Amino acid sequence: MTCFARAVETGSFSAAARDIGIGQPNVSRYVAALEEHLQTRLLNRSTRKLVLTPEGERYYAEVRRILDAVAESEMSLRENVKPSGLLRVACPTALSHMYVMPLVPAFLQRYPEMELDLQIGDRFVNLLDEGAELAIRIGHLENSALRARRIGSFRRVCVASKEYLAKRGMPRIPGDLTDHDCVIYTLLASGATWRFKDAEVPVSGRIRVNSPEAARALVNAGLGIGQGPAWLFEEGLKSGRLQIILNEFAAPPVPMQIVYAANRLVPKRAIVFMDFIAEEFSKIPQLNTWGARSKRSSP
């Protein structure tokens, strides 16, 4: 059952074998034996991926509950055991580089028996299907199959270089953005629509990117107006190269959360990671901006 569940969650027999610590042929053999025992096919194999059959989907849901119940029973007898094992955490790119990765050495030093697999990227990771136990998410939680722990918040701002504003002029209201070049981050949940306090404005521009760091670089280069976390543009704002615009129209601060599956056991290694990140993020002013406001935009 463990081999089958991890093959589903990691996407391949070889990845499941690495995760469990046995050879890939053994994983394949165990899953085949399980299918023979049940007299039904659970997985369709191809050279590229594993796909659950309808019977496999139903069986996986039951297996996951059984394995979690076993783990919970064992954990109840080992309350004082130190956190250990591999923890997979999906993290947004820019937030990871700026704030999560600098904390990793201290975390691993505090918990020497743990390993971290940071899955860094801005693609949406489905915790129920892809094997990560935790994910750091930006924005409000909408999936009822998940639970969340708040770890901070930040202001989303509109910025532009002074060079760009000198050429194109200063937008006075959010609607003015339709007459400007905007650098569009394509993985934003709202797409090419920017949210403000009382409005949502469709924007356009000559360049689109799927990386927050690339968007920042392009805004710094004067190629358009950008929108994103204030901390993403902090260096340019401090140097005076960038300027916050439309600040009086800014939407409320955006929450950051660590999410986990509601119907699964939360292992001790995941709990201590959430505690650690929440504690460290609480010390960073840029990540705790509920109700905070910067000075209004300069004319």
Q: Which is nearest to 293 in space by CA: 134, 197, 155?
A: 155
pLDDT at site 121: 86
Helix/strand/coil percent split, the chain, to 5: 45, 25, 35
Tell me if the domain spanning 156-249 has CATH number 3.40.190.10: yes
User: Average pLDDT of 196-211?
Assistant: 92
Local confidence band at 238 (pLDDT 50, 70, 90 cut-offs):
very high
pLDDT at site 147: 86
pLDDT at site 110: 95
What's the mean per-residue pLDDT of the chain?
87
Question: To which H or E segment does residue 150 belong?
Answer: strand 146-154
Give the span between the Cα atoms of 289 and 299, in whole angstroms: 24
Model confidence pLDDT, tens digit, residues 131-188 = 678 999 988 777 667 888 999 999 999 999 999 999 999 999 999 999 999 999 998 8
pLDDT at site 294: 37
Q: How many helices (H) and strands (E) does the chain have?
A: 11, 14
- Has residue 74 got a pLDDT over 50? yes
Burial (CB count within 10 angstroms: exposed 0-12, middle 13-18, buried 19+), residue 197:
exposed
pLDDT at site 297: 36
Tell me if the domain spanning 2-76 has CATH number 1.10.390.10: no
pLDDT at site 267: 81
User: Average pLDDT of 211-238?
Assistant: 94
Local confidence band at 235 (pLDDT 50, 70, 90 cut-offs):
very high
Least confident interval from 48-57, 104-113, 268-277? 48-57
Break the chain into its structural domains and give their ranges: 2-76, 85-152+254-284, 156-249
Q: Does the fold of domain 156-249 match that of domain 2-76?
A: no
- Has residue 281 got a pLDDT over 50? yes
Percent of the chain surpassing pLDDT 70: 91
- Look at the domain 85-152+254-284 and name its fold: D-Maltodextrin-Binding Protein; domain 2 (3.40.190)
pLDDT at site 295: 36
Least confident interval from 172-181, 218-227, 234-243, 262-271? 262-271
pLDDT at site 131: 66
The pTM assigned to this predicted structure is 0.72
